[in-house]
Structure 1
Amino acid sequence: MTTAETPSARADFWERSLQGWDVAFYAMTALAAVAAFADPRGVPPVPLALAFAVLVAAYTLLGRRGARRGDRRLADAYLAVLIVVTVTVVALADQGQVLLFVAYSQIWYLAENRRIGVWLVTLLTAGVAVPVLVQTDGGPAALLTTVAQLALALAFSIVLGLWLTQVAERGEERAILLEQLEAAQAELAATHHGAGVLAERARVAQEIHDTLAQGFTSVVMLAQTVTAELEADRTAEALDRVAQIEQVARENLAEARALVAAFGPAALQDGGLVEALGRLARRFEAETGVQVEVQVVGHVTGTGERLGKDTEVVLLRAAQEALANVRKHAHARRVVLHLALDPAGAADAVDAGDGPQVRLEVVDDGRGLPAGTVEGVGLRGMRDRVHAGGGSVEVGDAPGGGARVLLRLPVDGPRTGSRPGPDSGAGSAAGSGSGAVPGPDAPRPPSPTPTPGGHP
């Protein structure tokens, strides 16, 4: 039995095509009955009517139910009745041979497979041949003609039945394949949905790490500083720290609301990237006492090359993560955030094609990267963000000591206007602290004790 001939597959096929077969059976049986009763020989009406009644009842109670349920016992019982009734009708009336059209089609429709179909139509033809040959008059020539006609009918029924069966089975196979394809598409859609959920969950987790977690870290460290200052009876300094705690908490609340509303970072809602970096630098200075200088080279937000919102988000999050690592590990006194726009074809541009790039460099004068430093969640998240934007990240020791984080990202696209040169707008500061590098003995506000270890 072929794949298309499995009971469940054939049951589905029968269910879909049963209505058409009902109409064909009843219509063709009615025509065969009219032809049989019109036989010029004059046939006994009662036996003939009884034979057709048995056939219709057998189809309704056995054949149709067997086709609908895929029940082989019912189908086989009906085929046996069909063969007996057909032979009986042909024996009673010459015109009863019209019923052969019904019998052949029903056999091929309900046969379990091709082999059984061939066997049944052969058996039916042999059964019909007996009364036909008995009733044949005219000598050997007429007998030979009748045999040839029966053989031709048998051959035609086998060829036509095999062809129709093949067509039907191909239709069944296509229907099954279509159902399998639809099931596979549904499964693939569910898989994609699950992957999308996991990706969104990872994105939200990274956003929380880059925003809320860092804000809470600031709150904890500032609270520890307040405790130390209160114990030292430095009330004024403690009040300043409390004000800073309130400010950080408000900013964290704004970030949380932005995440819930699926907006961009709250820091970018009130201005561009340069303004956000300036606010970040001032807050970091106030919380840690570490001087932060923001340097902008090139018209990053002017009328030349335009930074898209996604690019600004990546750069801001990278700056936040880099400063968080400085707070935790660097023991630094000074940090420089250097934001620059490199024109197309810049000599040091890498992995971003021939177009212009934006470059963010964060350099501190701390203790640098200890040997064997392992990247943490924050730095891995930074790399993922930058790589997703088509850029690159370098982390290493800065010349002269300290640590250096360098990001390069392709600019989203040019706007109308002239392209700035590499030195355009050089040295413009935005949001630096005092603007000067303090000497080793310059007084600084007290800062929490950094966490030991290298940059994550």
Structure 2
Amino acid sequence: MGYLRWMSIAVVITAILMGVLVLGTDWSTPSDQIGAGIALAAFVLAWFTVGIRAFTNKIAAFVFIALLAVVVGTGVSFEPSLATLQAIAYPLVWVIAGSVRNAIIGNITIALSVGIGFMIFAGLSPESLLQYGTIVGLSLVFSLALGLWITQISKLSDQRQDLVLELQSTRDELAAISRDAGISSERERLAREIHDTIAQDLTGLVLVAQRAKRELENNQPVAAAEQLELIEDSARAALAEARALVTASAPVGLTGDGIMNALERLAERYSRETQLTVTVDAGQLPAIERETEVVILRCAQEALANVRKHASATRATISVTADISGLTVSVTDDGVGFDPTTTHTGFGLEGMSERLALVRGRLDVDSSAAGTTVHATIPLGASA
């Protein structure tokens, strides 16, 4: 590991510098120099045999701190200048202790060892005790203060790192949720589009095909040919709607000439397919956004589909009005009606409500035995 290599280099360099310092002193006796040299050699040996294992082994950490205290204290007893080893001994203890409590105990142990070394070297005179006690005390206090400060910074850094990782995890989860929500929303959109376009076209094809079959059974080829032509037109319309859905382009009914013309074409087509009289009633309308036109057209398509499937009606009217509350497209029929409060299994009314909710609109249904009116109201300026 990189930090072990650098710490090993620091230990070796410190030992060499202290050895040069010991040899350069004039007041040391040869025996003191030999003792200090042995202490320095023991310091280096202890590091390379036990110290480098102390980062991953609690027992090795305990043994190394004990050896460090003995070596430094012994070295100071021969040569007081070896007290400089505290500069590397205290940081080593903080790094390998494993906890703040163990680091404090280790620092105090080394300080006591250095103090004992000073007393062995200089004796117990008040002057020496004051001098060396001050040196040991200041070194210990500085080591504890610096170690606690760095430990707190490291703790805050770890907390911030955990917070960053948690935020990244939360961001990933939100991204996954957003992606799933987007997929679900797109599926719902496609389901509405398919239901309101291709499904209705296919339903119309089935009805017209059944009528053509009856015409052929009744030996009425001319009427059957008209129904076959209508089948072809409906199939082409369904194909065009499918292509528009695949390319995410505007609905086929909206060709750029306005919503009223689109509703007229819709009414004409339903009249041909169902032989139901469908009329369009609309006054002057304000400028309407394309998204709003799509919602109006889809609501009218779905309402007429419900009339064809459920109402048994003979007439239907599509009306569009505008006031301060917004645009309202209403589809009224003279069918048998139904109870709007009952639960329905179909997708029609629910799909219309969901589509209107996207543009902050609402759906209202009035029904009785005399017929049904579906009101779809859209605020002016609303867009999906």
TM-score normalised to structure 1 length: 0.75
Corresponding residue number in structure 2 for 1:178: 164
Q: Which secondary structure state, in structure 1, belongs to the residue aligned with residue 366 of structure 2?
A: strand
Identity %: 33
User: For the residues of structure 1 that align with 2:211 and 2:133, how far apart are their CA atoms?
Assistant: 113
Corresponding residue number in structure 2 for 1:364: 333
C-alpha deviation, 1:119, in angstroms: 0.9
Task: Answer yes or no: is the 8 Å Cα contact 1:58–1:78 preserved in 2.
Answer: no
Distance change (3 Å), C-alpha of 1:248 and 1:85: farther
Corresponding residue number in structure 1 for 2:233: 247
Equivalent of residue 298 in structure 2, options 313, 317, 342: 317
Q: Which runs of 5+ in 2 are unaligned?
A: none
Q: Which secondary structure state, in structure 2, belongs to the residue aligned with residue 268 of structure 1?
A: coil
Is residue 2:366 matched to residue 1:396?
A: yes
Corresponding residue number in structure 1 for 2:119: 133
Corresponding residue number in structure 2 for 1:386: 356
Q: Kindly provide the CA deviation profile for residues 342-374 of structure 1, in whole angstroms up to 9, marking residues without a partner as x.
A: 2x3xxxx3xxxxxxx111111111112247643
Corresponding residue number in structure 2 for 1:429: none
Distance change (3 Å), C-alpha of 1:321 and 1:29: same
Task: Answer yes or no: is the 8 Å Cα contact 2:362–2:377 preserved in 1.
Answer: yes
User: For the residues of structure 1 that align with 2:340 and 2:366, how far apart are their CA atoms?
Assistant: 11
Q: Kindly provide the CA deviation profile for residues 140-195 of structure 1, in whole angstroms up to 9, marking residues without a partner as x.
A: 22123322332332233222222221111111111111111111111111111111
User: For the residues of structure 2 that align with 1:80 and 1:269, how far apart are their CA atoms?
Assistant: 90
C-alpha deviation, 1:123, in angstroms: 1.3
Corresponding residue number in structure 2 for 1:102: 88
**1:18-97 correspondence runs (5 A):** 19=3, 23=6, 26-27=9-10, 30-31=13-14, 33-39=16-22, 40=25, 41=28, 43-44=33-34, 47-48=38-39, 50-58=41-49, 61-63=52-54, 66=55, 71-73=57-59, 75-97=61-83
Corresponding residue number in structure 2 for 1:445: none
Letter in 1 for 2:363: V
Equivalent of residue 115 in structure 1, options 97, 101, 108: 101
Q: Which secondary structure state, in structure 1, belongs to the residue aligned with residue 363 of structure 2?
A: strand
**1:44-443 correspondence runs (5 A):** 44=34, 47-48=38-39, 50-58=41-49, 61-63=52-54, 66=55, 71-73=57-59, 75-137=61-123, 139-298=125-284, 300=285, 305-342=286-323, 344=324, 349=325, 357-370=326-339, 373-375=342-344, 376-397=346-367, 401-412=370-381
User: For the residues of structure 2 that align with 1:108 and 1:315, how far apart are their CA atoms?
Assistant: 74
Letter in 2 for 1:271: D
Task: Answer yes or no: is the 8 Å Cα contact 1:121–1:158 preserved in 2.
Answer: yes
Q: Which secondary structure state, in structure 1, belongs to the residue aligned with residue 249 of structure 2?
A: coil
Task: Answer yes or no: is the 8 Å Cα contact 1:229–1:237 preserved in 2.
Answer: yes
User: For the residues of structure 2 that align with 1:220 and 1:320, how far apart are their CA atoms?
Assistant: 17
Task: Answer yes or no: is the 8 Å Cα contact 2:15–2:40 preserved in 1.
Answer: no
Distance change (3 Å), C-alpha of 1:92 and 1:137: closer
Q: Which secondary structure state, in structure 1, belongs to the residue aligned with residue 197 of structure 2?
A: helix
C-alpha deviation, 1:388, in angstroms: 1.9
Distance change (3 Å), C-alpha of 1:390 and 1:38: same
User: For the residues of structure 2 that align with 1:73 and 1:190, how far apart are their CA atoms?
Assistant: 46
C-alpha deviation, 1:25, in angstroms: 6.5
Q: Which has the higher helix share?
A: 2
Task: Answer yes or no: is the 8 Å Cα contact 1:32–1:96 preserved in 2.
Answer: no
User: For the residues of structure 1 that align with 2:71 and 2:245, how far apart are their CA atoms?
Assistant: 79
C-alpha deviation, 1:200, in angstroms: 1.0
Q: Kindly provide the CA deviation profile for residues 66-89 of structure 1, in whole angstroms up to 9, marking residues without a partner as x.
A: 3xxx55455445444444443344
User: For the residues of structure 2 that align with 1:169 and 1:384, how far apart are their CA atoms?
Assistant: 51
User: For the residues of structure 2 that align with 1:371 and 1:265, how far apart are their CA atoms?
Assistant: 29
Task: Answer yes or no: is the 8 Å Cα contact 1:337–1:362 preserved in 2.
Answer: yes
Letter in 1 for 2:41: L
User: For the residues of structure 1 that align with 2:303 and 2:360, how far apart are their CA atoms?
Assistant: 20
Letter in 2 for 1:380: E
Task: Answer yes or no: is the 8 Å Cα contact 1:369–1:396 preserved in 2.
Answer: no
Q: Which runs of 5+ in 1 are unaligned?
A: 1-14, 350-356, 414-456
Task: Answer yes or no: is the 8 Å Cα contact 1:306–1:411 preserved in 2.
Answer: no
Q: Which secondary structure state, in structure 2, belongs to the residue aligned with residue 403 of structure 1?
A: strand
C-alpha deviation, 1:57, in angstroms: 2.2
Task: Answer yes or no: is the 8 Å Cα contact 2:75–2:117 preserved in 1.
Answer: no
Distance change (3 Å), C-alpha of 1:27 and 1:61: closer
The RMSD of aligned alpha carbons is 2.5
User: For the residues of structure 1 that align with 2:66 and 2:348, how far apart are their CA atoms?
Assistant: 78
Q: Kindly provide the CA deviation profile for residues 195-229 of structure 1, in whole angstroms up to 9, marking residues without a partner as x.
A: 11111111111111111111111111111111211
Task: Answer yes or no: is the 8 Å Cα contact 2:241–2:251 preserved in 1.
Answer: yes
